[in-house]
A and B are shown apart, each in its own frame.
Chain A
Amino acid sequence: MLSINKINKQALIEYEDFLFMYVEEEAAFDSEKIYYVDAVIINSSETRLFEKVLRVIRTHYDAEIYLKPIFCVQYEGLPLQVIECCDGLTDVTQYQKIARTTREIKTSIQKLFLQQKFPSNEFGVLYKAMQYLYTRNHDLTPFVDRHARLSYTYPFVSLQLEDEAQNKILDILKQGVRDGFLREEQMLDKIHVCDACHSAHHNIRETCLQCNGIDLKVQDLIHHFQCAYIGPETDFMQEYTDDLICPKCQKILRHIGVDYDKPSHIFNCNTCSEHFQNPVFTYNCVDCGKVSDIRHLQEHLIKRISLTAKGKQLVLSGLPKKNYESEGSNKDVSGVYELSVFKNILQQEKARTAFNPGRTFFGKVAVVDVQLNSISWKEKMILRDELAGELKSYLKDYDMVTAVSAGEFYFLKLESNQEKLDELSELIVFNLEALVKSNVKDSQVIVSVETQAIYHNQTIEF
């Protein structure tokens, strides 16, 4: 029944009709073998090992891999992110329990429509999250994680995005809720993230209105009833005694409420000597160092998420073909290519520029608009294609465009010069902004165009 084939610290365990990968050390983890196993069992207290295994498996492009069950052996003090991201805690004798869970998950995976193409990266993440929720048959419950940029980690979903892009998780899940695939359940928390880097790690402090200094001293104001003098407590304090003496009438203040009261307080900035009652509350982002008014922090609600019937239906039947082909691809518009094709052409152009340098330009068009989050992904795709078509209309037949999303486009402009490019950029900015504004309600779109001449030995980052 149980057969253990152990090589170094990694073992393949056969139990019933399942094959488990048993991992004890990071160095011994062979990612190639995960194709052949039904689940992975990690027996280690090292967080790094868990992180590596989780990342390799959960970020895989193949649904059968990224949905694979992962178990960990119970250790005292195991970090929460490990416990929450695994499919169960176990001990080395509980193969029966592991087998049962693995069977349930495998059965669910088999029911799924294994979608390979998605209209956008964001939708891909959403779709994978829905698959995960379906196969695990429980809600998506984020947990507090001081290492996470948002200070919350969503099991499975957080792994799908790079650390800098973690803020997109909330948008992706919100979009899933708007489209009816997901449902928001109990609210767990509110987080406030930096408006520059979306980090929830910041230090909040009181600062001076005038100089933004943080060296502030707050004092009570004392009102002496008898002579109507009012001033900060230090006006009344004596150097050698504890008495409070009114600086105006020299009377001793004996009894609060009878002789005097403290109607308010005042701050004194030790940097610029300014006085004020209401300091500005600013935050200092631990991650990016930005200092700004706390009113600029973005508030997000952290909620438990569940899969709706519509969501279940989607992961079982897959996306309608038109969603990820005709609407989701760049094929329909002449001169607008898939990103992979575009990259190939770019490579060829780079080679060609060795003989004709400085005449071919690479351009990046960014369309930034918070209102884009309020439209459905279908509308986003339509808008993306419209923008791509519009962008292509300003280029020659032999120029090329690719659309990554409704907010990100690249183009290749052949046989041109910087002056023409600048004029073209201006035209693109003006017209794309107008197009977005006419399509998206309350749009505050900002379109930017960056261009650069390409050379044969140059590396271009997307």
Chain B
Amino acid sequence: MDFIIEFFKYWNYAGAGKMIRIFWYFIIFEFGRYVVLEFWVLFVYWLGRKKRAEAWEAAKQALYNEMPLISLIAPGKNEGKNIFKLVKSLNEQTYQNVEVIIVDDGSDDETPIIGRNLEKNGLIDLFIRNDMRGGKASAANLAWRYSRGKFLLHLDADCSFDRTAVENIIIPFYLDPEIGGVGGNVKVRNGDVSLCARLQSIEYLKSISVGRIVTSYLGIYRIISGAFGAFRMDALKKVGVWDIGPGLDGDITVKLRKSGYKIHFEPTAICLTAVPTKFKVLWKQRLRWSRSLVRFRLRKHLDVFLPHKNWRWGTFLGFVENVFYNFVLDIKWYIYIIDMMVNFSSWIWFLIPMNLALYMIAGFMQQLSLSLWSERSEEERVLWWYVPLMVFYVAFFLRFCRTLAYFKEFFFKASYRDPWNPQKSSYQALKNGY
């Protein structure tokens, strides 16, 4: 009780000036970017809803007038147990002029049997198996090679889709012919399994469902999720399809942007995916994801920062935002903590609770915006209880994971030793600077 009284006394005495001095990092970079800017963009986006709806209807009409063939590809390894669920979900789609191609990248489970069976029974159009694993990129490229559609949808086998997902992810191509790729709205299907999955549910809603509306609106949307992304076939050919991963979904998005295509995020094209339910598995996944920032943004596509090479403002700003918020601020956070420890060591027990409180307030405000936008707000209401824990999840778990990944990639090029990719491919990628 005494502590609480002391706490409020301290901050009353400190005043706004000192608060800004102490929490400048939060106010400028976190609250400014993720609350103020997002609310503003979402508000503007909301204002344009009628105009957007009219354009949407016209584009939908154009899509159905043309009825192009759409190739749905699902490359993967050991996805046997998920394939049937995926196919069932695809069969329910409102848009039916599709071909389904599944590539089995050297699975050692029952995938070949299931895939061949589905092909034989006409539930999928083509099943291709590579007896030797070549990696995700080569599997996707193989599917692309045999795709005949005007558009190609890259799917993860462990995903399922809203009935209108395929239709909704294709319509944006008819809104703007310069769009080369459209990202779908990936949400968590197994959020109720564990705390780990619950926290990821909130994270996905923040960073994808709402976060990408904002980045797409600002023209700095930088990653079409591999779980659910649509591409124009000619655009894929032009950029030379997928290169060796990990992080190939971000890589191809950058390649499309560099080739002059616009990238769009479609919040109504909804896909549900299964996320890791254990923190240990999640840690490994995020290490892999985070390494790609160094490998692709800071190495392979460094030319984005150079005015004389492939200069495009949208791509540049997207990269800056990505590198700044993930890489620079990650390092900056440690400096900030040291600053706090050195300069405000005697009041540290007042600072930490206030810091957490501020992040929680921001978290609840973001959750409010999610609820306003989500078509599943009723089902997602339970997530409100977990918002306070997001502070620890984002500030510590994800941050430490990112830091370790950046360090290992920056100094040791760890992604080239990642067993996610076969060694033969990683060796060539390293040798040739991919």
Contact = CB atoms under 8 A, between A and B. Distances in A.
Contacts of A257: 424
A225 interface: yes
B127 A230 contact: no
Nearest to A273: B148
B244 A228 contact: yes
Contacts of B353: none
Given A226-B429, A228-B425, A230-B142, A209 B131 contact: no
Interface residues on B, range: 20 to 34
Contact of B241 (A221, A229, A266): A229
B120 interface: yes
A232 B427 CA distance: 23
B142 A231 contact: yes
B210 interface: no
B32 interface: no
A228 B132 contact: no
Given A275-B146, A276-B119, A227 B243 contact: yes
Given A248-B240, A249-B240, A276-B126, A228 B146 contact: no
Contacts, number: 88
A263 B142 CA distance: 11
B130 interface: yes
A298 interface: no
A223 B116 CA distance: 22
26 contacts: A209-B120, A221-B142, A223-B134, A225-B429, A228-B135, A228-B244, A230-B141, A230-B145, A248-B241, A249-B240, A257-B424, A261-B132, A261-B424, A263-B132, A263-B133, A263-B134, A264-B128, A264-B131, A266-B128, A275-B126, A275-B146, A276-B119, A277-B127, A278-B116, A278-B120, A278-B127
A296 to B, nearest CB: 14
A225 B120 contact: no
Given A228-B243, A278-B116, A264 B130 contact: yes
B359 interface: no
B428 A225 contact: yes
B422 to A, nearest CB: 8
Interface string A212-231: 00000000010101111111
A394 B142 CA distance: 66
Nearest to A232: B145
Contacts of A277: 127-129
Interface in B389-434: 424-425, 427-429, 431-432, 434
Nearest to B242: A228
A226 B242 CA distance: 11
Interface in A354-384: none
B432 A228 contact: no
Interface string B137-155: 1110110011000000000
Nearest to B240: A248
A369 to B, nearest CB: 28
Nearest to A227: B243
A248 B129 CA distance: 21
Interface residues on A, range: 20 to 34
A278 B127 CA distance: 9
Nearest to A231: B145
B106 interface: yes
Contacts of A275: 126, 146
A227 B434 contact: yes
B119 to A, nearest CB: 7
A252 to B, nearest CB: 14
B208 to A, nearest CB: 26
Contacts of A261: 132, 134, 424
Contacts of B141: 228-231, 248
A280 B127 CA distance: 14
A279 to B, nearest CB: 11
Interface string A151-191: 00000000000000000000000000000000000000000
B14 to A, nearest CB: 56
A263 B106 contact: yes
Given A230-B145, A263-B106, A276-B119, A225 B427 contact: yes
Contacts of A229: 138, 141, 240-241
B140 to A, nearest CB: 8
Nearest to B135: A228
A248 B126 CA distance: 23
A261 to B, nearest CB: 6
Contacts of A266: 128, 146
A221 to B, nearest CB: 7
Interface in A248-285: 248-249, 257-259, 261, 263-264, 266, 275-278, 280
Interface in B203-245: 240-244
A20 B283 CA distance: 95
A174 B241 CA distance: 61
